[in-house]
Amino acid sequence: MAEIDHFQGDRLLFDQINRFFHETLGHGEVVILSGAKFDKRKSNKSFYRILYNKNFFQKSCPVDEIENYLKDFQKQTEQSWKQIEINGEDYIFLCMGESKKQIVTGVFKLKGEVSETLLENFGKMVTSLNRSNEQLKQYKKMEELVYTDDVTGLFNQRKLNKDLDSALIKHRQIRDKFSILFIDIDHFKSVNDGHGHLVGTKILFDLASLLNCAVRESDYIYRYGGDEFVVLIPNTGPEIAKKIGDRILNTVKSHTFEVKRPGSQDLQEFKLTVSIGVASFPQDAKSREDILEIADQMMYQAKKTGRGRVCFTHDIFDTTVLGEEKTS
């Protein structure tokens, strides 16, 4: 049986079931349906949805009759399978698992003999796999809550630390490099102090959406805390990371943030800038703590040299070599 994962476990499982009964044993195509549990208070005329093999089901199966037998079959949840004659042909109904509200059933046309013991054991095995898959999905949902920032919907610092550890392991295994951007909103304290934390919270939420639009799909964004954000850029050195930082900088500079005044429909408009520090692994650091600290230092260097700019270690190196202080 195929290994089941969070993203494609159902499809892999259904493919394997269809291949086993249709190709290996020579029976009809397997159709997978999800049906609402029987409720006497509801008519549930169209109570099912097709999870797998939809086209085959609509073209080759007696839809109305199968729907009626599905209702009868789902009432008998203690049975893992049942053989039913429909229009002179035999079909196997196979229970594949259930949740609080749904029952998943496989249906295929019987062509020749099939072992009752095989059906019984197969039904139990698939039900167990489906239950494990559902538990995995629930675990992933809970994990997402643990790693999600409440205000912005971005990943949080806990997830950043976990992902940085994974990036370090990947580097040791395949020498994969990566960079991070440390982002801080300029003069954000004056926004909170002058307009209130509700306004500040809305701006943080809008900035998170803006960051999502400015980075690549392969990049990861985290709210580090307060008005600080971190972007993890896999398989990227400092020069490309700085270009991504410049794009973020220009995107924020050109955007007008609009927030409703408390107790009013009038909009307040805000223009903001950010200061961004860049650090890369392994060029600039040898550990998770080091790369965060260096990127943070680069961000503060950007603030010291005028704010609203991107700074990375080459800037500091150039300043030292030239023996002169940089201005913005």
Residue 75 in this model has a pLDDT that exceeds 80: no
Helix (H) or strand (E) holding 199: helix 197-214
Per DSSP, helices labelled H in 24-110 are: 54-60, 63-75
More confident residue, 135 or 266: 266
* DSSP helix/strand/coil, 309: coil
pLDDT band for 219, please (50, 70, 90 cuts). very high
Cα dist from 70 to 10, 126, 256, 325, whole Å: 20, 18, 56, 78
Q: Does domain 157-322 have CATH number 3.30.70.270?
A: yes
Percent pLDDT > 70 in the chain is 86
Residues 128 and 96 sit within 8 Å (Cβ to Cβ): no
Residue 225 in this model has a pLDDT that exceeds 70: yes
Q: Which pLDDT score is estimated for 76?
A: 63
Question: Residues 47-62: what's their mean pLDDT?
Answer: 78
pLDDT tens string 28-49: 999 988 876 655 555 445 567 8
89 φ, ψ (degrees, to nearest 5) = -125, 145
Residue 187 in this model has a pLDDT that exceeds 50: yes
Q: Does domain 9-146 have CATH number 3.30.450?
A: yes
| Tokens linked to 135 | 């538990």
Measured distance CA(274)–CA(264) in Å, rounded = 28
Residue 138 in this model has a pLDDT that exceeds 80: no
Q: Which pLDDT score is estimated for 206?
A: 96
More confident residue, 99 or 212: 212
Residue 328 in this model has a pLDDT that exceeds 50: no
Measured distance CA(145)–CA(138) in Å, rounded = 11
Q: Which pLDDT score is estimated for 1?
A: 32
Measured distance CA(67)–CA(56) in Å, rounded = 15
DSSP bridge partners of 221: 231
CATH 3.30.450 domain extents, the chain: 9-146
Cis peptide before 282 (omega within 30 of 0): yes
Residues 243 and 307 sit within 8 Å (Cβ to Cβ): no
Measured distance CA(247)–CA(213) in Å, rounded = 10
CATH 3.30.70.270 domain extents, the chain: 157-322
Residue 2 in this model has a pLDDT that exceeds 50: no
Cα dist from 75 to 129, 130, 225, 312, whole Å: 22, 19, 52, 66
